[in-house]
């Protein structure tokens, strides 16, 4: 979707046009859902967060000033929502743990699945910001600058989070720095 068309749809959505907002959801759902799936580690919960993020975006669309891209704005909303929910959600954490245990039991033996679980565990141990930076930038969905805008962090911090976070994920997979070159 080109910038002009997006600006037109945003204008319509601000005036209450749900059809226009639906087209914006279609255009941006892939990067937002990918970000949250990597961040949360559970597809169902991630999609739940994504839907809530889009619904909140509808409410605060007037605050979008156009200086960053819309997907950056939506991911920022999603990240704030996830962080708040995570801090207040001991129950959700218990469900995540139960899900992880269930997945472990169901998928023993499969090498790819073992790597996936090792990565997820490593991600869960990372600090929130570092985890979010990796979720945004690993798949090259977002540039470092965009990640800095989403998370409201300095660019240098984003770069150092990527460097350290990547090393920790690779260590969890048993990959050394030389092997990863």
Residues that bind other proteins (CB under 8 A): 18, 21-22, 25-27, 29-31, 33-34, 36-38, 40-41, 43, 46-47, 50-52, 54-55, 58-59, 112, 115-116, 119-120, 123, 135, 137-141, 166, 169-170, 173, 175, 180
Q: Minimum distance from CB of 33 to other proteins (Å)?
A: 6
Nearer to other proteins, 91 or 112 (CB): 112
Nearer to other proteins, 49 or 151 (CB): 49
Residues 6+ apart with CB under 8 A from 105: none
DSSP 150-176: HHT--HHHHHHHHHHHHHHHHHHTT--
- The Cα–Cα gap between 144 and 15 comes to 33
Q: Minimum distance from CB of 88 to other proteins (Å)?
A: 19
Q: Minimum distance from CB of 93 to other proteins (Å)?
A: 18
- The Cα–Cα gap between 35 and 79 comes to 9
Q: Minimum distance from CB of 26 to other proteins (Å)?
A: 4
51, 98 contact by CB (below 8 A)? no
Nearer to other proteins, 16 or 90 (CB): 16
170, 181 contact by CB (below 8 A)? no
- The Cα–Cα gap between 162 and 170 comes to 12
Nearer to other proteins, 38 or 161 (CB): 38
Nearer to other proteins, 50 or 149 (CB): 50
165, 130 contact by CB (below 8 A)? yes
Q: Minimum distance from CB of 29 to other proteins (Å)?
A: 6
Nearer to other proteins, 86 or 116 (CB): 116
Q: Minimum distance from CB of 121 to other proteins (Å)?
A: 11
Number of helical (H) and strand (E) elements in the chain, helices listed first: 10, 0
């Amino acid at each position: 979707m080109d910038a002009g068309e997006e600006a037109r749809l945003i204008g319509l959505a601000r005036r209450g046009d749900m059809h226009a907002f639906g087209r914006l959801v279609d255009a941006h759902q892939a990067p937002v859902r990918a970000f949250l799936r990597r961040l949360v580690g559970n597809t169902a919960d991630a999609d739940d967060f994504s839907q809530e993020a889009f619904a909140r975006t509808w409410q605060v669309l007037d605050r979008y000033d156009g200086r960053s891209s819309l997907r950056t704005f939506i991911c920022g909303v999603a990240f704030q929502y996830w962080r708040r929910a995570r801090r207040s959600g001991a129950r959700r954490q218990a469900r995540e743990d139960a899900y992880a245990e269930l997945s472990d039991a169901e998928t023993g033996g499969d090498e790819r699945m073992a790597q996936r679980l090792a990565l997820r565990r490593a991600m869960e141990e990372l600090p929130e910001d570092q985890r979010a930076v990796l979720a945004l930038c690993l798949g090259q969905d977002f540039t470092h600058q965009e990640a800095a805008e989403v998370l409201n962090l300095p660019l240098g911090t984003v770069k150092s989070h990527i460097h350290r976070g990547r090393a920790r994920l690779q260590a969890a997979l048993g990959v050394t720095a030389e092997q990863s070159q």
